[in-house]
Structure 1
Amino acid sequence: MRLSLIAVSVLTFVAVSGPAIVGPATAAAARLERIDELSPTRAAVFIYSPAMGRTVQVQVLHPAGGGQRPAYYLLDGLDPGVSQSTWTNATDAERFFAGQQVNVVLPVGGQASYYTDWQQDDPRFGRYRWETFLTEELPPLINAAFNGNGVNAIGGLSMGGNAAFILAARKPWLYRAVAGYSACPDTGLAMGAVLFSITNRGGNPLNMWGPPGSQGWAEHDPAQLAEALRGKTIYLSTGTGIPGPHETEIKPQLAENVFLGGPIELGVNGCVIAFEQRLRGMGIPARVDHSATGTHSWSYWQDTLHASWPTISSAIGA
C-alpha cells in the first residue's frame, strides 16, 4: 500500500481511540419505521438499523406509479446534508428522475464516513456501519416498499464515488453498474486525502480501517479488488481543475470552486487516469468522461449525472 506524505503527517498526531464495535445484528432485524411522502415522486424513509443502533433516514425518488423497477443507490459527498441528500438540494436530480422507471435511493447523513463499516466507534461520529446498512439491511426494505425488482446500481460523487466503487468491489453480486463523479477509486492513491478529510471533520481516521497500509485498507481498495468489477458497467467522470463554464455562475460556492475545487479536481483527474489505465490493463472496459475543464463542484456533477444515465439505465433496465 502506498503511504503518502499527508498520511504520514496525519499519523503523527492521530491516536487510536474508542471501543471495538460489536458485530452487527442480522439484516432481517432492520425495520421500516415510517415513510413520509414528500411529493408524488419523493419519499423520506426512516429505517431502524441494528448495525448502527439508530434510525437512519434515506430519501427515495420513485415513479408516481408503474410496475417493478430497479434501484440506483446514489451517495453523497464528504459533507452530506442533514435533512436531505445534497443531490436533491444542489442539483435537479428530483426533476431529472421524475418519470424514470427507477428508485433512486439517497442516504441522508454519513459525514466523512466513506459509507463503510468502521472498525471502532469514533468519539466524533459514533458508530458507522454504513456498508452493512446499505448492502444488507436497506435493499430488501426498499424493494418491498417501492416495488423494487432486486436489480441495483450504485454511484456517488467525490467521497460517495469512492465508496460506490468500494461497495461494488466488496459486494459484486449486488450491483450491475457503478459510477463515480469526480471520485478516486484507488484507495492507495487517495490515502492522504482520506486521512486528512476525516481528521479535518474531527474524526479519527484510524478508527475506520486501522493504520494505513494494514489489511483493512487493502480490503477496501478497488484498485486491488478490480477483478471483482469485471462484467459490471463502469462509469467515471472527471474535470481537470481548470475553470470552466460553471465558474461564471453566481453562487455561494464560487470562491471554493476556483481556489479549492480546482486543485482537488486536478488530483482526482490524475487518480481517475491511473485507475482507468489499471482497468484497461486488465481488459475491463469502462466509460470515462474526461472534461478539458471543470472544478470539484455541484454544477459539474449535475452535468455528469445526466451524461451517465444512459449508461447506467441500460445496465439495469431502467
Structure 2
Amino acid sequence: MATRRYCTLVAAVLNTKTARKLISFGVKMVQKSPAVWRRIPPIYIDETAHPATSNQDYDVPRLAKRVFDEAPRVERWFIESPCMRRIVEVQVMLPPKPEEPAPMLYLLDGVTAPRRSGWLREGQLEKALNNEQVIVVMPTEASGSLYENWVADDPEVGRHQWDTFLTQELPNIMEDPTTGLKFNGRRIIGGLSMGASGAIRLAAKHPEFYHGAIGLSGCYSTTSAMGRGMTLAILRCVGSDPDNAWGTGPTPTWARNDVADHPEGLRNIPVYLFAADAHITKYDIELHTGRTRLDLPGATILEYASYTSTRDLERAMINAGMTHQVVHYQYGGVHAWEYYGDQLKAGWDAVYKSQVS
C-alpha cells in the first residue's frame, strides 16, 4: 500500500516538465512495438467481471425483468438483447417527479464497467443529479468495450455490440410508454474516461439521435500516438485482444472512430468537455495514500493523456469553425472519481439546462 511519503515522492517526480515529456515520448515509442500492448496484464481485477455469453437468439429486444436496486429511485432492468445475444443489465435512476416528463441521460462507466455502475459506487451521482428531473440510464458489464460494435467476439470479454444496443435496442425499451416512464423526447449521452470516449464518439456518429454530449477525462483520438496507445491500453487491461475490436493494425474502422479527426458530427449538438492537467495536488496525495503503489502514477498518466486528447479535440472543433462547445480545464487533479460528480453537474447544466431554460 502507498504511504503518504511515497505519494509525495511520486508527485515531486511526475509534476516536472521533464516527466510530462517522458510520458508522451514513452507512449509514442511503444507504438513501434505493438507486442508491448499484448503483455499488459489485466488491472482492476477485483472490480472487473465479464458477463457470461449466453448466445441466445432473441428476436426483438425485450424487458425481461425490472427490480428495485441498491439506492432510492434506482432500479435494475434486465434487457433481452438480440445484438448482444444475452441479457444486458441496466441500472436506472428514476426522476424525483416520475409523473412529469423528463429527458434521458445515458451515462457510461469507465474501463472496468462492472455490474454495479461506478457512477453509483463512486461517482457521486445522487449528489450531482438527485434534484434534477432526469431519467439516468447506466448500462453495466461493459468492461473494456469502448462502447462500440466489435468486428469479432472475444474469448475473454465476449460479445460487444454496444453501438447497436445503445442507439437502437435500449432506447426502444426505455422510451416505450408501457414502461411508465414519462420521456420528454430529449436524449443526452455522457461518461467518464472510457465512457467519455464512447459518449462523444457515439454522439458524433449519431448527431440526429442525441441532443447533447458530456465527456469527462476522455481520450477522443484512436490514431494519434497518445490516442491509439490509450485505446490499446483499455483493451488489454481487461485481457481482451485488440484485434477483435476494430481489426488488426491501422484499419479504416480505427480511423473512422477518431473523433479528433472527424469532429463534424458534433457541430449541431451541445458539448461539454472536462479534463484536469494531471498536476498532482495535496488533495490527490491524500486520496491515494493507502491505495496500491501503482494507483497514483497510473492516475497521473491517464489524466495527462485525457488532457492532451481533450485539447486535440477542442482544437479540431475550433478549426472546423465550431464555437458552441464548453470546455473546462482544471489546474491540478488526476484521473479520480472524486472529481467527476461536480463535473457531471456542470456538464448537465451546460448541455441540457442551459438549452431548455
Same fold by TM-score, threshold 0.5 exceeded?
A: yes
* 1:229 corresponding residue in structure 2: 266
Q: Of 62, 67, 88, which aligns to 2:94?
A: 62
Specify the SS of the correspondent of 1:224.
coil
The answer to whether 1:149 aligns with 2:181 is no
The answer to whether 1:166 aligns with 2:205 is no
C-alpha displacement at 1:178, in angstroms?
0.9
C-alpha displacement at 1:4, in angstroms?
4.7
Q: Of 114, 120, 136, which aligns to 1:104?
A: 136
Cα–Cα, structure 1 residues 96 and 200, in superposed 2: closer, same or farther, change >3 Å? closer
The answer to whether 1:73 aligns with 2:106 is yes
Specify the SS of the correspondent of 1:116.
coil
Query: Quick one: distance in 2 between partners of 1:129 and 1:305?
Result: 26
Cα shift readout 1:136-173 (whole Å, capped 9, x = no counterpart): 10012112222223311111111111111111111111
After superposition, the CA RMSD in angstroms is: 2.4
Query: Quick one: distance in 2 between partners of 1:77 and 1:278?
Result: 24
Query: Quick one: distance in 2 between partners of 1:295 and 1:12?
Result: 25
Cα–Cα, structure 1 residues 317 and 46, in superposed 2: closer, same or farther, change >3 Å? farther
Please show how residues 25-104 of structure 1 align to structure 2 within 5 Å. 29-38=60-69, 39-64=71-96, 65-82=98-115, 84-104=116-136
C-alpha displacement at 1:57, in angstroms?
0.6
Cα–Cα, structure 1 residues 297 and 29, in superposed 2: closer, same or farther, change >3 Å? same
Matched-pair contact (CA < 8 Å) for 1:152–1:316: no
Specify the SS of the correspondent of 2:175.
helix
Name the TM-score, length of structure 2 as normaliser. Answer: 0.79
The answer to whether 1:303 aligns with 2:327 is no
Q: Of 290, 294, 301, which aligns to 2:329?
A: 290
Matched-pair contact (CA < 8 Å) for 1:235–1:308: yes
Letter in 1 for 2:257: H
Specify the SS of the correspondent of 2:33.
helix
Letter in 2 for 1:90: E
* 1:270 corresponding residue in structure 2: 308
Give the 4+ runs in structure 1 shifted more than 6 A: none
Query: Quick one: distance in 2 between partners of 1:317 and 1:45?
Result: 29
C-alpha displacement at 1:218, in angstroms?
1.6
C-alpha displacement at 1:99, in angstroms?
3.0
Structure showing greater radius of gyration is: 2
Matched-pair contact (CA < 8 Å) for 1:241–1:294: yes
Query: Quick one: distance in 2 between partners of 1:93 and 1:13?
Result: 33
Cα–Cα, structure 1 residues 205 and 230, in superposed 2: closer, same or farther, change >3 Å? same
Name the TM-score, length of structure 1 as normaliser. Answer: 0.88
Letter in 1 for 2:274: S
Q: Of 183, 188, 208, which aligns to 2:218?
A: 183
Matched-pair contact (CA < 8 Å) for 2:144–2:237: no
Letter in 1 for 2:184: N
Query: Quick one: distance in 2 between partners of 1:209 and 1:315?
Result: 37
C-alpha displacement at 1:202, in angstroms?
1.1
Query: Quick one: distance in 2 between partners of 1:246 and 1:142?
Result: 39
Q: Of 236, 258, 263, which aligns to 1:199?
A: 236
Matched-pair contact (CA < 8 Å) for 2:103–2:186: yes
Cα shift readout 1:159-193 (whole Å, capped 9, x = no counterpart): 11111111111111111111111112122231111
C-alpha displacement at 1:42, in angstroms?
1.2
Letter in 2 for 1:85: S
The answer to whether 1:9 aligns with 2:33 is yes
Q: Of 245, 249, 262, which aligns to 1:212?
A: 249
Matched-pair contact (CA < 8 Å) for 1:176–1:315: no
Cα–Cα, structure 1 residues 196 and 257, in superposed 2: closer, same or farther, change >3 Å? closer
Letter in 1 for 2:337: W
Query: Quick one: distance in 2 between partners of 1:201 and 1:255?
Result: 19
Matched-pair contact (CA < 8 Å) for 1:78–1:158: yes
Query: Quick one: distance in 2 between partners of 1:233 and 1:188?
Result: 25
Cα–Cα, structure 1 residues 13 and 85, in superposed 2: closer, same or farther, change >3 Å? closer
Query: Quick one: distance in 1 between partners of 2:208 and 2:356?
Result: 17
